[in-house]
C-alpha cells in the first residue's frame, strides 16, 4: 500500500467529514457513549471541516484517489513556540497499517511543529495508546481524562 499526502482542499470536505464520522462511530464506539459520539460527529460537518482547515495546516492521506486519513496542526492558542495536533483520523479498515504513523510524521515535519518547543494533542481514549507510542506523554503527568473526556498529551522538542 502506497499512501500519498497532500494538503486539504475544500473539495475534500465531504469525504473528510464522512471519514471522520465513520471512524468515530466504529473505532471510538468502544470508549464513548453513542450520545458523545454523535455530539462529536456534529462538529465535523463538511462546513466545519473547511472552517478548521482555514486556521490549521490540514493534510489528507490517500490510497489512490481515496482519502483514508487526515490530520492537522496549528498554533496552540496563537503561540509561536507551541503547537497542537487536531483531527487525526484513520479509516477503521486502514488502522494498524502505518497510516497513523505517517500522519504524525507529516505533522511533525510541518513548519508549525518545527518552530514549536512543545506540541500538544487532545487525545481520545481510543487513540491515547497510539500517541504514547509516538512519544507523547501526559501533560503535567495527569493521566486521567478531562471534562471533555480527552487526555491532554504533549511532546517537547
* pLDDT tens string 105-149: 999 999 999 999 999 999 999 999 999 999 999 999 999 999 999
Name the one residue in this structure whose C-alpha cell is 497510539: 130
- Model confidence at 99, pLDDT cuts 50, 70, 90, reads very high
CATH homologous superfamily, domain 3-119: Gcn5-related N-acetyltransferase (GNAT) (3.40.630.30)
Mutual orientation of helices 13-26 and 46-53 as an angle, nearest 10°?
A: 110
State pTM to two decimals: 0.96
Q: Which helix (H) or strand (E) holds 132?
A: helix 128-133
Q: What does the domain layout of the chain look like in residue ranges? A: 3-119
* pLDDT tens string 1-52: 799 999 999 999 999 999 999 999 999 999 999 999 999 999 999 999 999 9
d(CA 108, CA 102): 10
3-class secondary structure, 121: strand
- Model confidence at 97, pLDDT cuts 50, 70, 90, reads very high
Is beta strand 118-123 parallel, antiparallel or unpaired with respect to 82-90? parallel
Question: Phi, psi at residue 26, to the nearest 5°?
Answer: -100, -60
Name the one residue in this structure whose C-alpha cell is 513556540: 81
With a cut of 90, say whether residue 87 has pLDDT above it.
Answer: yes
The answer to whether 81 touches 99, Cβ cutoff 8 Å, is no
Q: Which pLDDT score, from 0 to 100, does residue 26 have?
A: 98
Amino acid at each position: 500500500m502506497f499512501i500519498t499526502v497532500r494538503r486539504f482542499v475544500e473539495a475534500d470536505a465531504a469525504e473528510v467529514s464522512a471519514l471522520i464520522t465513520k471512524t468515530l462511530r466504529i473505532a471510538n464506539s468502544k470508549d464513548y457513549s453513542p450520545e458523545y459520539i454523535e455530539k462529536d460527529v456534529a462538529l465535523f460537518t463538511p462546513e466545519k471541516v473547511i472552517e478548521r482547515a482555514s486556521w490549521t495546516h490540514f493534510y489528507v492521506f490517500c490510497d489512490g484517489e481515496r482519502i483514508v486519513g487526515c490530520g492537522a496542526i496549528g498554533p496552540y492558542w496563537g503561540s509561536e513556540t507551541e503547537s497542537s495536533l487536531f483531527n487525526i483520523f484513520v479509516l477503521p479498515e486502514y488502522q494498524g497499517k502505518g497510516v497513523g504513523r505517517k500522519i504524525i510524521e507529516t505533522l511533525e515535519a510541518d513548519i508549525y511543529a518545527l518552530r514549536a518547543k512543545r506540541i500538544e494533542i487532545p487525545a481520545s481514549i481510543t487513540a491515547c495508546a497510539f500517541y504514547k507510542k509516538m512519544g507523547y506523554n501526559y501533560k503535567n503527568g495527569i493521566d486521567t481524562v478531562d471534562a471533555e473526556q480527552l487526555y491532554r498529551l504533549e511532546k517537547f522538542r
